[in-house]
Structure 1
Amino acid sequence: MKDNGSTKYDLLIERLCETFGALYQGVTIDKNWLCERFGIAERTAYRDLARLAHVLDEVSNGRFKLTANLLPSLHMGHLAEFANFAGVAHLFPHHDGQSLRKRMNNADNIAIHGASSRENQQYGDLMNSLDKAMTDRTEVTCFYRGKSRRLQPYRLINHYGLWYLAAVEQGRLKSFELARIAQFAATQIAFEPDASIIEELDTTSGIRFGKRTDVTLHVSAHAATFVTRRPLFPAQRLLKEHEDGSITIATAISDQNTLFRWLRYWLPDIRIVAPATLSTAFMKDLQARCEPTTSEQPQDA
């Protein structure tokens, strides 16, 4: 039978081994992490940190990672980082590296149908050049849609599987599809990043930029289920749930044509409540599209 001293040291060894395993997978630890993970007192946690001090690097006040020369080139922590970077972490109930690795081990049990994309290998050099220009904050030139452009590049955006460059041209933030960029050239002309541009990029979903208009929409009970389970509109928020199951939502748009395309798709389940001018514009646009062209007009007998 083991005595108390032997049991105590066995627990210490198990605790340190588990801690080192977490560190090896890229986890950052501190005294709180140790206390919560193992149910130990702060004094014991400090002693454990002292025991591991020779293999730890302090990354911030009281927080530690495994020293760089002991970290593997690729670990489960990187897997979680990539899931966040690619915007797919939210697909899974748990998206820490270990949980994602477990899902991948059972890949035959899961199918993910996301946005499709063209083959992007041909844009590798362009993306590398743009990445350098964005890091260095230097302007670039290119030929786009029949016109020479001088751009201040800010960000690369993947929107529904296609890559776009968010850049400022003549004071306006615009999006440029990489597939349409030709005659690209970097310059040595530096520019000062605009904080308002960065804020707009951080708060805008999609590739439509500019002044946004607040819009109120009524959604039928039939469509409410689809609209609430996954937001369909930028900055979508629920305003009211009605007794018949329908809802009223708000959104903010910078391009009315994009909104009109969605409304035509969801007719007659979603309609504009306000502003009235936008509702009128949509009805006129819809009517114009429904009118027959000259070639479709009936001929006199």
Structure 2
Amino acid sequence: MQHDKLATRLSIILYKLNQGERLSVEELAEEFGVTERTIQRDLIRFSWFNLKKENKRYFLSENEVGKLNFTDIKNFAIFSGLKSLFPSLSQEFLKNIIEEKMKKAYIINDSGFEDIVSKKDLFENLSSAILNQNKISFIYNDKKRELSPYKLINTNGIWYLCALESNNMKSYSFSKIKNLMVYSEKFKLDEKVLEKIEEGSVNFLSKDLKEVHLKIDNSAKEYFLRKKVLQNMKMVENKDEYFIVSTNIAFDDEILNIVKYWLPYIQIIKPLELQKKLEDILKDYLKKPNI
């Protein structure tokens, strides 16, 4: 039986451990249809559980078996499987993530590409402010903003902060946030606003969403569609050699990062200026001296 999704595989492995099973790398590789090296990497993700090893089998100590419920297992697998979405995850921060309260801080729509490791402290401080409902301020586009933070949203691999500014819901590219200040003053969460965010977070990312059309080679079709790489994706055209999809984005980097990841199987056909922007980025990259 093959489980091609990392989060699913991790959930099942951790469930087995929590049931007191002693797991063999070879047997797990055969069960999930992956290499033994892949399973070994999976087990490394569970190192903070203090896994034991005996006779080439991995297991939890008796005093740890059965302490995790299904929700804990599922949440750990999701966040561990999507670890690249987050900046450097400390053990303490990872443990906090799987607690029920931490789910209030994030919406994750897809796997990530944006490198925000250098802003680990900013990410954690924003997360804390959201959870504790602390008012904040920061510099964004050279202007000071005073806000009530609601959610950190990852859409198409890019992190955004969704927050109320002067009673208007706005979104802010995480990578552009500077000089964060977290205040002791609290704000009252508007449940109706929160509900709208969670029902369709992408709609809050910009009042002026841009429609993008992508031409994708059919050799990547099955994986691209199965992984649901794009949010709000619609099939526009389906040919023998390629297919065309449309999606809406708030910022160019959302789609540029995805297209760069899927080269050479993908091309931006609308708007053309976005394809040109991508080509310029690639040309600049190729001009760089070898490192």
Normalised to the residue count of structure 2, the TM-score between the two structures is 0.46
Structure showing greater radius of gyration is 1
Structure scoring higher RCO (CA < 8 A, sep ≥ 6) equals: 2
Normalised to the residue count of structure 1, the TM-score between the two structures is 0.45
